[in-house]
Amino acid sequence: MVNNTNYTELHRRLKEIYSKAFDGNKTGYKGVTLLFRSFTSDSSFIDEKQSNPPFYDSGILKKYNDNFKYPVFVPEGEKARKQVIILLHGLNERDWGKYLTWAYSLAQKTGKSVIMFPISYHMNRAPEQWNNPRQMLPYVQKRKKLFPGIKMLSVANVAISERLTNKPERLFLSGYQAATDLINLIDSINSGKHPLFDKNASVDFFSYSIGTFLTQILMLGNPGKKLDNSKFFFFCGGSSFEDMHGISKYILDTKASEILRYYYLNKFEDDVNKNKTWRELYERFGLGEAFKAMLSFNFLKHTYGGLFSGYKDRLMTTVLKKDNVISPDAVKKVLKGSIVNELDFGYRYIHENPFPVSNTPAISNLVNTAFNMVINKAASFLI
């Protein structure tokens, strides 16, 4: 294992490098190159033909969501062509900033390439307006009038909250799109069509928050047995949908959370049975059944029993004691039989920001220690 990372210093350096690389310049840091690859996705099954931009304009949404670039950290050495880690992010994320240090450190410490892949309608797969506080403020004010007493509404979550309140089935449809994107990405690697990797390069996962939920669905469905040899490291994730508490100014407001929970625990299956297109999607690759199973612990237990315990040496999870979005107990319940490590840090952290960048040396040192504790554990497991 290489020397520990100075998280705060590296975070600032990588944000500068990211901007250069996104503009097409080949750049990197200490033996790890950052570059971007283009990807084309299919959203033909998603109906976005509604008015009231910037939330529903179908032209803008297809422009961003269907054709995008994703970043890849490529370390020096032959191993980088033969072994890949896919890093998946959390819900309602618009910026890769906090993940740059995670991905870079994994690449540097394992010698494997790390793909940072954006979930549908997230990161650079969403309109730029959604990440503009000034442009989002009028929609916050409008939503407050529409739903008196609403809590945790902010410029950061108003776009996703409004979209999911209006059409909660978007969670399933966009999740399905993200899952099929990942299947296609893995296929391109396995077939030797991906220009960065050798044919049949190994594919592992570092998944965080809702990215873990997506990974679990892929694991349960395991289309074409593509994940038979993959390793999985989960961070701050692993519970069922029912046990997630995503009410936060950074994730969902109270109204959106309420509607989502009611819809998926009470109405979703009926709607699937009524809609032929949805039924076809639900049955394809086994992803629909896997999605339904992950909605609640009882669904999971009834459909798959203790399947995750079967991963044993290929699955490791780290949870945080003070995580109020995805609690350690909820994760341990679902992942019983696999390795789940519970940690706590000596500074104030939240699920959405476990490693805050601080200008206070004492706090910065604690964050450095905490980050290295998690990333070294992940790198040792995924190496």
Task: Note down pLDDT in tens along the chain; length 383 residues.
Answer: 446 888 989 999 999 899 888 887 778 899 999 999 999 998 877 766 654 556 767 788 888 999 999 999 999 999 999 999 999 999 999 999 999 999 999 999 999 999 999 999 999 999 989 999 999 999 999 999 999 999 999 999 999 999 999 999 999 999 999 999 999 999 999 999 999 999 999 999 999 999 999 999 999 999 999 999 999 999 999 999 999 999 999 999 999 999 999 999 999 999 999 988 888 888 887 899 999 999 999 999 988 886 787 788 999 999 999 999 999 999 999 999 899 999 999 999 999 999 999 999 999 999 999 999 999 999 999 99
Residue 157 phi/psi, 5-degree rounding, is -115, 5
Domain of residue 261, residue span: 7-382
Residue 1 domain-assigned (yes or no): no
Residue 331 domain-assigned (yes or no): yes
Residue 300 domain-assigned (yes or no): yes
Q: Which two tokens stand for residue 29?
A: 């840091």
Residue 340 domain-assigned (yes or no): yes
Number of domains in the chain: 1
Q: Which two tokens stand for residue 50?
A: 């509604």
Residue 223 domain-assigned (yes or no): yes
The CATH code of the domain that includes 233 is 3.40.50.1820
Residue 336 phi/psi, 5-degree rounding, is -55, 130
Residue 2 domain-assigned (yes or no): no
Residue 39 domain-assigned (yes or no): yes
DSSP per residue, 12-71: HHHHHHHHHHHTT--EEETTEEEEEEEEE---TT------STTTS-HHHHHHHHHEEEEE
Q: Residue 319: CB partners within 8 Å, gap ≥ 6?
A: 236, 238, 326, 327, 328, 331, 332, 340, 341, 342, 343
DSSP lists the bridge partners of residue 85 as: 114, 204
Neighbours of 326 (CB within 10 A): 26
DSSP strand E in the chain: where? 27-29, 32-40, 67-75, 83-88, 113-116, 202-208, 232-235, 315-320, 339-343
